[in-house]
Amino acid sequence: DYSLVLSLMRQLVDIAPVYYAPGNLEWAARYANGCDTIFDDIEATGVHWMNGTYEDTVINGKKLRIGGFFEWPRAQLERENSRAVADALNDETNALDDVCTILICHCPEVLDTSLADEKFDLVLSGHAHGGQVRIGGHGLWSTSQGFLPKYTSGVNQMGESQVVISRGLGDSEPYPRIFNQPELVVVDVN
């Protein structure tokens, strides 16, 4: 039941432009759980649906190029249009000196694999749920990274990119969050 998420999105778009890229739970809802309309329902809220796309925009006088996609951490980007989005935002291949590039990429480990040689001004990520269980400020488990994951939260320098990893609001593991408060991250781009 993703009705709460849709309600939140409708409220957020009344406040500011909202950019949304899918993660594994949206894909699972659509293809494994029979929610055939989830992508259309999300887009109908008025969010900018970044599923293998990017947009140029100006917000508060700042030129931005915002793109997004869902990819697992593999050697190559595999979904349709993901490579085109990465290339369009990559500061190494574009003259984007006056444009801030923001990539919304669900799995942060993609920056260590298929995007290791690319540069984005800012990457917004999640997926690790903060490591689900945290001890001493470190996550103990992540779905893609296993035990003692390297990337679970905070601001991380990954290659030439600043990557902000949110612990998120929910969980998807069979056990609850422990010592791992949900978070909603606010990033000021200036």
Angle at 73 between CA 69 and CA 78, to 5 degrees: 55
What is the pTM assigned to this prediction?
Answer: 0.91
User: Tens digits of per-residue pLDDT, 109-154?
Assistant: 999 999 999 999 999 999 888 888 899 889 998 878 889 999 999 9
State residue 172's pLDDT score.
67
In whole angstroms, give the CA distance from residue 190 to residue 184: 19
